[in-house]
Amino acid sequence: MNGSILVVEDDPDIAALITLYLEPRGFRIRIAGDGESALEALENESWDMVLLDINLPDTDGFTLLATIRRTRSVPVIMITARREDADAVRGLEGGADEYVTKPFSPRVLVARVDALLRRTRQEHGVISLGSEITVDMKTSRVFRNGARVPVPPREFALLRFLLERQGRPATPDEIYHAVWGNDYGDLTSVAVHIQRLRRRLEANPRKPCYIVTQRGFGYAIRQGAERE
């Protein structure tokens, strides 16, 4: 699972459209049609993001946003039919992270959700590889589709080193020096550990999309990779 999103939207057609595009991305979606049910969902469950409509039957999104921000730092994207700049400024100054106006492109909304979650997770030490893999740098834990993947310390050290290079390739010599702490040694150990990581993380280790080989340069992490 890529994360859980609370969609606060009273229009069932728009709620269904959002669900249609986000669920295939691995998100767990819950719809709240009014402010009361939204607050109940926030009180009883933990959410990775809130998509919040401004016009609700029992309150307005600005009031609900203020209530959320008093106790929670969950990322919020406000969705509204209003196009006035003042509303956008009010929402952003009130603590919203993004602002989307109706009608919106579902694909653009998905892209904004992905980008905001990626930025938020990186700020908290959590890095996403595509839509399937998340790496918690603080706890040294790796998850694939929400399930814990056991990664031994040496392999995690290798993964951390590649992630910290932000896509720049590293030669086997550089990896061996950084991960094994030696200037000289058996460099085949690097290739062996790369293969082990691929078997843990890649859908097809023979055609990796996350831990890639750049011939003549070394190995690199491709964070935005998607499976074909």
The domain 3-124 is placed in CATH, from the list 3.40.640.10, 3.40.50.2300, 3.55.50.30, 3.50.7.10, at 3.40.50.2300
- Closest by CA to 98, choosing from 136, 157, 110, 166, is 110
Determine the pLDDT at residue 228: 37
Structure tokens at 173: 């010599």
Between vectors from CA 172 to CA 169 and to CA 178, what angle results, nearest 5°?
85
CB burial of residue 18 (10 Å; 0-12, 13-18, 19+):
buried
Structure tokens at 143: 């998850």
CATH 1.10.10.10 spans which residues of the chain? Answer: 127-221
Helix or strand (DSSP H, E) at 140: none
CATH 3.40.50.2300 spans which residues of the chain? Answer: 3-124
Determine the pLDDT at residue 45: 86
Q: With helix as H, strand as E and coil as C, how does 164-194 read?
A: HCCCCCECHHHHHHHHHCCCCCCCHHHHHHH
Cβ 32 vs Cβ 8: under 8 Å = yes
Determine the pLDDT at residue 224: 54
The CB density around residue 221, as the number of other CB atoms within 10 Å, is 22
Assigned architecture for domain 127-221: Orthogonal Bundle (1.10)
Q: What are phi and psi of 227, to 5 degrees?
A: -70, 140
Cβ 172 vs Cβ 218: under 8 Å = yes
pLDDT along the chain (228 residues), means of 10: 85 94 89 93 89 90 90 88 72 85 88 85 79 85 87 93 87 91 81 95 92 91 58
Its pTM stands at 0.62
